[in-house]
Structure 1
Amino acid sequence: MDVKQIVGPHPLPPHPCGNSLTALDQRTKHNIPHRVLENDPLEIDEFIAAMTQWVVNHHISPESVKRDRTRREALERQGFNDPTQRFPTNTSTQKGNWAEILLAEYIVASSEAQLPVYRLRYNPNVDQSMKGDDVLAFDLNSNPVRILVGEAKFRSTSQKAVVGELIEALEKSHSGNVPASLQFVADRLFDSGQDELGTKVAECNVLFAQGRLQLDYVGLLVSNKHAHSHVFSTAQSNIQRLAVMSLVLPDPEAVVADCFAEVAALI
């Protein structure tokens, strides 16, 4: 088992991850598939621009953007500010959401899976992290049907302990058998009128019971220069279909701050 068999190949240009990130596949000290991601400093502006748009996409629908603009313009004509908050201002939540969004977009680009629901749009408190699986991506056309379960961690300074937390979260999901957020995804699809897709997602419960559902697990650590070495030396698990990725950024906090500072310009 290697990273490509779980995550798929590294995205190619013109996808932003293909333009801005390089990838090297290896195995950790404890034989876990590990994809090492590095950012090209010359492409950092393009990467931030892409991530900023993804941050918007994951937090607010295009229809909500239009409604917000109409309401905001009406309030401004009356001399009032719009109190609606669509994006977190809490820096810890921003960083966690940012890593989750990157993992989701990367998985969709590298695999045949799709992301049927942007779960952050349904967060009742945008300044708090959402419970449940960070990423659920579905390859409903594969045989067997496949779900990729993703967990993302962001640390300004990497420590070995965070690698253990990353693996522990994936193992907890694995021990629970069917992903905890599966019904949440199905319900949101039914609520939005996508009954056919919602039915296919809900039927994954039955496929699991029949031994006809493949679950793959992917972890992502975004941090500073020590992220790769900490994953290499620490990551270990008995889950057979599990891979870990690590992304090193020279100044991770600044990248996230730049993205969230720019979201207002896109809505």
Structure 2
Amino acid sequence: MSAKKQTTAQSKLIGEHPKSGLFFDWFECEDTPATANKKHRKLTNKGISSDTLVEHLSQWVIKHHATEARIARIERKKQILAKHGFAQYMEGKVPFPIKSATTQKGNLGEIILAEYLTETSGLEILVYKLRYNPNVEQSMKGDDLLLFEKQNIQNRVIMGEAKFRSTKNKKALDDIVQSLSNKNLPISLTFVSDRLEEMGDELLANEIDDLITNLHAQKTPVTYVGFYHSESSAYQTIEKHLNSNNKNLVIVSYGEDNPAKLIKSSFDKALKMVME
């Protein structure tokens, strides 16, 4: 009888890698040996087809940038303006960064991390922050990602930070580690609370307000997750240089050949889906 596989330090913090679905098909997962100062989950591409991947990612781009109501309004305008140059009229008004490659790279990293952690941890995104960006060509300030246990808000929070680099480097890793120091608490909770109140969920908004107090009183634990998206050898930078005294920090790395192409293709496809 084989010995039961031990739960890794990474899985204790963010959950097991999915055993089915897109992330199972997309990623080969390795939780590298953990130390007191290094918890690293290495993701590599199993060989999923580019078309399949872009199809999924483009749908996530739309989901994270626009409510169903906003997409419905665009569809209504499309019908009205179909004979009057819809694309020309709507240029710059759809909720996707259509010019800034830098913003696309940052946003897709946040989106991938959000969807991945939702699946592994069981926690939820209560507010899709990219939907509220007043300037789609620039990245939003505040926490990249916050996930909550909706049925028990005070139980646990995940705070995420995503970085993309075409060529791996230590500084990007250092920036993630600094941002996710255990001395840093989420700074976007008031934003989340305000959006929930606007959506009519005052009870949940009040829970978030109470959470702010509990976090400062260290009554609610925070799990910190950094996502490092770069070239195929990105994991080497994490393994060599990750050194954090935050015991609740996990760095998730994803390396692939030509990562910038995947990002551009995903946003191009999302824009095409909305505009055509």
Q: TM-score, normalised by structure 2?
A: 0.89
1:23 aligned onto 2:29: yes
Which residue is 1:266 aligned to?
Answer: 273
State the AA in 2 paired with 1:211.
Q
1:32 and 1:237 in contact (8 A); partners too: yes
Q: Indicate if the aligned counterparts of 2:30 and 2:41 stay in contact, CA closer than 8 A.
A: yes
**Which residue of structure 1 lines up, in the alignment, with residue 53 of structure 2?**
47
Match of 2:242 among 215, 219, 235: 235
Q: Secondary structure at the match of 1:124?
A: coil
Q: Is the 8 A contact 1:153 1:221 kept in 2?
A: yes
Q: Residues 143 and 52 (structure 1 numbering): CA distance in 2 closer, same or farther, change over 3 Å?
A: closer
Aligned residues: 263
Conserved 8 A contact 2:96-2:271:
no
Q: Does 1:125 align with 2:132?
A: no
For residues 135 and 5 of structure 1, do their structure 2 counterparts lie closer, same or farther at Cα, with a shift above 3 Å needed? same
Moved more, 201-210 or 72-81: 72-81
How many Å separate the matches in 2 of 1:122 and 1:133? 14
Offset from partner CA, 1:121-163 (integer Å, 9 cap, x none):
0000000011111000002445961000000001111112211
CA distance in structure 2 between the aligned counterparts of 1:139 and 1:65, rounded to whole angstroms? 28
The TM-score normalised by the length of structure 1 is: 0.92
- Paired letter, 1:253: A
- Which whole-Å CA distance do the structure 1 matches of 2:217 and 2:134 have between them? 35
Kindly state the Cα deviation for residue 112 of structure 1 after the two structures are TM-superposed: 1.9
Give, as a single letter, the amino acid of the residue that structure 2 aligns with 1:50. Answer: H
Which residue is 2:258 aligned to? 251
In the TM superposition, structure 1's runs of 4+ consecutive aligned residues that sit over 3 Å from their partners are 27-31, 140-144
Structure 1 position 94 matched with structure 2 position 104: yes
- Select the residue among 190, 198, 206 that pairs with 2:205: 198
Structure 2: segments with no counterpart, 5+ residues: 1-7
In structure 1, the partner of 2:94 is: 85
Aligned position for 1:73: 79
Instruction: Report if the CA contact (8 A) 1:96-1:154 is conserved.
Output: yes
| 8 Å Cα contact 1:11/1:110 also seen in 2 | yes
- Residues in 1 aligned to 2:250 and 2:205: alpha-carbon distance in whole angstroms: 27
1:211 aligns with 2:211: no
Matched, 1:168 2:174: no
Q: Residue deviations 1:45-80, cap 9 Å, x none?
A: 322221111111000111100101112332333345
Alignment pair present for 1:104 and 2:114: yes
Q: Deviations over 1:92-119 (max 9, x none)?
A: 1000101111011111010021001110
SS at match of 1:225: coil
The answer to which of 57-66 and 139-148 deviates more is 139-148
Letter of the structure 2 residue corresponding to residue 103 of structure 1: L
1:54 aligned partner, one-letter code: W
**SS of aligned partner of 1:175:** coil
On the 8 A contact 1:26/1:33 being kept in 2, the answer is: yes
Q: 1:36 aligns with which of 33, 42, 49?
A: 42
